[in-house]
Amino acid sequence: MAYTGLGIAYIRANPWGGGLDEPLHANYVQVLAEEHRLPWIYQEDGRWVRYRDAHAMHPPVYHLLQVPVYLATRSSELAARVSMRVFNLLLGGLSVVLVYVIALAAFRGRLPEAAGVTAFYALMPHVLLISSVINNDIASILVFLLLLYLGAVRWSEAMTWPRAAALGLVAGIAGLTKGTCEVAGFPMAVLLTYLADRHEGRFRAWCKAALTGLVALVLVAPWHLRNLRLYGSLSFMPDDGPNPLLPNQEPLIVQLMHDHFLPVLKHALQWQVNTLWSQEDWVPPGLRPYVYGVGWVFLVGGGLLGAIAYRRHRELFEPRVWVAYLASALPLWLMALYIALFAHFGWTRGGRYLLCLLPALGSLPLAALVWVRGRWRFGPWLAPALIAASLLALNALCMHHLVSELIPAHGQTSLLG
């Protein structure tokens, strides 16, 4: 209920284009609906130009899902925009359900921990932002969570050949929703297929894992081959913002040894975590150090306690889910860091690219609740209550700052007045 209420409030209050790249994604949907073809990017006067200003570097699954919504409401521009935003909110609602089910499995049915992880995800201002505007972030998270649910929960004990192929199909769809899901989802899908079947023999398990990977690759191959034909690269990203503090024209080893590398790495790590909580400018400037400080204490301090609890009480946790968390988090975070450091400096503040990792990031601190379980009757419920209350307060601050400061400062109006 809190997620839905806040999502509706953000849909109403956020001006058109208030979500990152919202008009570009809406234009993508229009090209698909009206011209029945994918948009593309071309060079003009030495610079890259988007056809009809559509976000053509993204794969099309999310935008295809939005096409029926647009066609049903395009007689009114406002109705189409609101309807497509509401559709995103519905996708986000489904992702909240999956987060709860996965967390319940990760903690072997313990409700306080599952509720805490769900609150940490569902009430995060950044999750509510991407759920209430038109972009493909929430759809990619939903498909990623579906992949995690099928591989680590639903089919974790019996990975038949058809299920291995189906898991590859979901991984491929995830990759065709957003490229970050390809990086996070493919290794996780292959590993989960192997883990689910290794009791039948390693060779058989690896064969099924190979099938999962092959199906996923076959599904995403046409998209990457199209990129190769159009742009000369399997994954196209305009080189429009390399890090100005590193000699980006030099070989990678030279950049790694540069005096600025460690400070730039520290800055990237710090701000990728800081911008997990909300789009940076939504948090009132005077409160940002406190919000970021509390976030770091929760993730680092709580995470260390949770890691110790997991190590000492492994019987209280479902290992397949935790392995899946790790298998997806490492490649995605490394990719995000690489792009932020060497390709696109804007990813330094790219916390939204890591939002699919929120259930994992929230689960580790909540694992520390094993220390109070059995000692204090209501102790385990204090953590999820505190998480929910803190995030509700942060949403209230963000909403007030958006409506009273940001919208007037930019001469904008809320989408629904």
**How do residues 241-267 score in pLDDT, each as one tens digit?**
666 777 776 776 777 777 777 888 888
Q: Is the pLDDT of residue 397 over 80?
A: yes
Q: At what angle do helices 261-274 and 319-342 cross, to 10 degrees?
A: 130
Q: Is the pLDDT of residue 415 over 90?
A: no
Q: Give the integer Cα–Cα distance in Å for 255 and 96.
A: 41
The whole-number pLDDT of residue 417 equals 61
Task: Count the alpha carbons within 13 Å of 9 in the hemisphere toward its beta carbon.
Answer: 17
The whole-number pLDDT of residue 389 equals 93
The whole-number pLDDT of residue 239 equals 58
Higher pLDDT, 212 or 415: 212
The whole-number pLDDT of residue 378 equals 61
Higher pLDDT, 163 or 236: 163
The whole-number pLDDT of residue 200 equals 74
Contact by Cβ (8 Å): 145, 118: no
The whole-number pLDDT of residue 159 equals 87
The whole-number pLDDT of residue 375 equals 58
Q: Is the pLDDT of residue 139 over 90?
A: yes
pTM for the whole structure? 0.91
Give mean pLDDT, residues 194-205.
Answer: 82
User: For the segment 319-348, what is each residue's pLDDT rounded down to a tens digit?
Assistant: 888 888 888 888 888 888 887 777 776 666
Residues 6+ positions from 336 with CB-CB distance below 8 Å: 180, 272, 347, 350, 353, 354
Q: Give the integer Cα–Cα distance in Å for 138 and 140.
A: 5
The whole-number pLDDT of residue 416 equals 67
The whole-number pLDDT of residue 106 equals 92
Higher pLDDT, 380 or 243: 380
The string over 216-231, giving b where at least 16 C-beta atoms fall within 10 Å of a residue's C-beta and e elsewhere, is bbebbeebbeebeeeb
* DSSP state letters, 118-137: HHHHHT-HHHHHHHSSSSSH
Contact by Cβ (8 Å): 356, 332: yes
* Phi, psi at 48, each rounded to 5°: -80, 135
Specify the DSSP class assigned to residue 15: P
Nearest residue to 237 (alpha-carbon basis) of 333, 131, 346:
346
The whole-number pLDDT of residue 373 equals 64
Give mean pLDDT, residues 347-353.
Answer: 73
Nearest residue to 415 (alpha-carbon basis) of 396, 402, 397, 405:
402
The whole-number pLDDT of residue 348 equals 66
Angle among Cα 10, 407, 293 to the nearest 5 degrees reads: 70
Residue 123 amino acid letter: L
Q: Give the integer Cα–Cα distance in Å for 386 and 383.
A: 5
User: For the segment 30-87, what is each residue's pLDDT rounded down to a tens digit?
Assistant: 999 999 999 998 888 878 888 888 888 899 999 999 999 999 999 998 999 999 999 9
The whole-number pLDDT of residue 124 equals 93
Q: Is 19 left (phi over 0), alpha (psi -120 to 50) or beta?
A: beta
Residues 6+ positions from 417 with CB-CB distance below 8 Å: none
The whole-number pLDDT of residue 238 equals 63
Give mean pLDDT, residues 152-159.
Answer: 86
User: For the segment 269-309, what is each residue's pLDDT rounded down to a tens digit?
Assistant: 888 888 888 876 788 888 888 988 998 898 888 889 888 98
Higher pLDDT, 244 or 105: 105
Give the whole-number percent of the chain exceeding pLDDT 90. Answer: 37
Mean pLDDT of the chain: 86
